[in-house]
Amino acid sequence: MKGRNSNAKPNMIPFTVQDFERAFPNDAACLEWLRNYLYPDGVYCIKCARVTKHHRVKSRPSYSCDSCGHHVHPTAGTIFHKSPTPLRLWFHAIYLLASTRCGISAKQVQREIGVTYKTAWRMCKQIRSMLEEDCGPLGGSGSPGVEMDETYYGGHIRGVSNKNKNKTCVVGVVERGGKISALATLDKSSSTLLGIAKEKILPESVVFTDEATMYDGLTHMNRGYDHRRIHHSTKVYVVGTTHTNTIEGFWGLVKNGLRGVFHSVGHHYLQSYLNEYSFRYNRRHDTEPMFQSFLKQVEKRDAVRWQAPVEVEPF
Ligand SMILES: [Zn+2]
């Protein structure tokens, strides 16, 4: 073990409000950051077919090629594309979302950056949309183990006997000391859970779950799982290393965040909130400030950006 204690404070480099004000005083500074991030080796001009010098166009959020005058818009292919909201407000909203541990409501973003509720809500939605990630299968031999658990989130109607009606099932898989994957699912049937295990947990892993019968099939999946269970129904929560406290801790974090802020979170939206919480959780040991990690996600996955063609060696 490398002595990574999950209780130890992460040594993330702080990025304070003052740091933010200094680094991003205006729209121009934000656009400049975007340009440097998207074109670290200089801006490639498709007309000149090479990397050329570009200068800022005063009247628009774009740069123009010094040689031919062709315009490049760094916001194209990012979440800022075609948004009438100034870039600095976008950066500020991202800063707010990245700085909280338990999430922030659109209402609070509205108050802090001074846009309408509708705009704040859309911005939050866009920012969340960029936090989706596939952290790949977890565990494997040599791993301290993977915890798997399921829970419910969403609207709870007072007085309704089946309290899980109107709620969305969530299944989580977390590697101890490592990353988490949390998925909103249609149900918590055995086939759903085992399907997720197959996709998210590497063969030969130690898998910790509670006693729920849906997990019975884990040992018969032919993946060499070492399945260890804790019997919550008998009020036993830890036996040696057998527990699901890591994933329960994450559920608590999400529940605290969602409580009082979102009264009824639909299936689709819930997944985007789970992505946000997972994204932050998966970077808790990073030294890079969370704000930087968030900023680096602004480019949309399917964005096509012109770059210098790779030189192919002649035969
Ligand atoms: Zn050019």
* Cα–Cα distance list, 22 to 26, 31, 287, 292, 296 (Å): 10, 15, 20, 14, 19
- Residue type at 16? T
CA of 150 to the centre of ligand 1 (A): 55
If we measure between CA atoms, which residue out of 160, 84, 92, 97 comes closest to residue 125?
A: 97
User: Is residue 294 scored above 90 in pLDDT?
Assistant: yes
How many whole angstroms separate alpha carbon 173 and alpha carbon 147?
6
CA of 121 to the centre of ligand 1 (A): 39
* Cα–Cα distance list, 8 to 3, 241, 288 (Å): 10, 19, 17
How many whole angstroms separate alpha carbon 266 and alpha carbon 248?
22
CA of 70 to the centre of ligand 1 (A): 5
pLDDT tens track for 171-226: 999 999 999 999 999 888 999 999 999 999 999 999 999 999 999 999 999 999 99
CA of 71 to the centre of ligand 1 (A): 8
CA of 73 to the centre of ligand 1 (A): 13
Exposed, middle or buried, 16 (CB in 10 Å: 0-12/13-18/19+)? exposed
Query: Can you read off the two tokens belonging to residue 170?
Result: 């969530």
Instruction: State the DSSP H helix or E strand holding residue 199, giving kind and residue range, or none if neither.
Output: helix 190-200
pLDDT, the chain, mean:
88
CA of 69 to the centre of ligand 1 (A): 6
pLDDT tens track for 53-91: 999 999 899 999 999 999 999 999 999 999 999 999 999
% residues pLDDT > 90 (the chain)? 68
CA of 31 to the centre of ligand 1 (A): 20
* Mean pLDDT, residues 105-132: 94
User: What pLDDT band is residue 31 in, cutting at 50, 70 and 90?
Assistant: very high
pLDDT tens track for 229-262: 998 888 888 888 899 999 999 999 888 888 756 5
CA of 243 to the centre of ligand 1 (A): 61
CA of 75 to the centre of ligand 1 (A): 19
% residues pLDDT > 70 (the chain)? 85
CA of 297 to the centre of ligand 1 (A): 28
What confidence score (pLDDT) does residue 157 get? 45
- The reported pTM is 0.87
* Mean pLDDT, residues 132-138: 89
Neighbours of 194 (CB within 10 A): 18
CA of 181 to the centre of ligand 1 (A): 44
Radius of gyration of the chain (CA): 23
Beta pairing class for 206-210 and 226-230: parallel
* Mean pLDDT, residues 22-30: 97
Provide the CA 153 distance to its chain's centre, in angstroms.
Answer: 18
Helix axis angle, 117-129 to 267-281, nearest 10°: 60
Query: Can you read off the two tokens belonging to residue 233?
Result: 């129904």
For the four alpha carbons of 195, 201, 203 and 205, in that order, the dihedral sign comes to negative
Least confident of 15-24, 198-207, 219-228, 265-274: 265-274
User: What pLDDT band is residue 1 in, cutting at 50, 70 and 90?
Assistant: very low
How many whole angstroms separate alpha carbon 52 and alpha carbon 72?
12
CA of 26 to the centre of ligand 1 (A): 27
Q: Tell me which DSSP letter residue 305 carries.
A: -
Tell me how long the chain is.
315
- Residue type at 13? I
Q: Tell me which DSSP letter residue 138 carries.
A: B
User: What pLDDT band is residue 10 in, cutting at 50, 70 and 90?
Assistant: low
CA of 53 to the centre of ligand 1 (A): 8
What confidence score (pLDDT) does residue 87 get? 97
Exposed, middle or buried, 57 (CB in 10 Å: 0-12/13-18/19+)? middle
* Mean pLDDT, residues 6-35: 89
CA of 6 to the centre of ligand 1 (A): 51
Query: Which residue has 């740091």 as its token pair?
Result: 19
User: Is residue 6 scored above 80 in pLDDT?
Assistant: no
CA of 315 to the centre of ligand 1 (A): 30
CA of 305 to the centre of ligand 1 (A): 15
Neighbours of 209 (CB within 10 A): 23
CA of 310 to the centre of ligand 1 (A): 19
Query: Which residue has 């909280």 as its token pair?
Result: 100
What confidence score (pLDDT) does residue 167 get? 76
